[in-house]
Amino acid sequence: MRILVINGPNLNLLGQREPELYGSVTLADIETLLTARADELGVELWCAQSNDEGEIVTLIQEHGDFDALIINAGGYTHTSVAIADAIAATQLLTVEVHLSNIYKREEFRHHSYVAAVAWGQIAGLGYHGYLSALDSLHRRLTEDAASA
């Protein structure tokens, strides 16, 4: 089982700025925690971060043969038809994650292009959201394989 994890623009700054909004853990911390959990589950994890929309589209296309995607598209969540199209084109089973509760924030953050092509969405649980996404995808993929 192979799962791709993509973090979008500015998430490389985690732990350095705005801890009241996004927490104090760094992206490296999150990737370490995710990798440890993936090892326990027997999942092969590929983690990437990019500030570039086209690069994120290419990453999704290049990993279209993976089993699932965990994505926090950052600000592109609310603007990017291209990222949503790439997810739809690859048909990757996707969980969208947001550290903050986007529905308690500015109106422009309430709409997500990714949500329309995702299996599920987790928002507001901080870095725990990534771990929940991994556990949920592992459970779903295991169930799907058992019933195939």
Catalytic residue annotation = 22, 98
Smallest gap from Cβ 107 to ligand CA2, in A, equals: 11
Query: Which 30-69 residues touch ligand CA2, going by CB under 6 A?
Result: none
Q: Is 17 in the site for ligand CA2 (CB under 6 A)?
A: yes
Least distance from ligand CA2 to the Cβ atom of residue 124, Å: 8
Work out which of 109, 120, 121, 125 binds ligand CA2, going by CB under 6 A. 109
Q: Is 93 in the site for ligand CA2 (CB under 6 A)?
A: no
How far is Cα 135 from Cα 34, in angstroms, rounded to an integer? 10
Residue 19 backbone class (left: φ over 0; alpha: ψ -120 to 50; beta: rest): alpha
Residue 93 is encoded by which pair of tokens?
């089973």
Backbone angles phi, psi at 38, to 5 degrees: -60, -40
Phi and psi angles of residue 127, each rounded to the nearest 5 degrees, phi first: -65, -20
Give the shortest CB-72-to-ligand CA2 separation in angstroms. Answer: 5
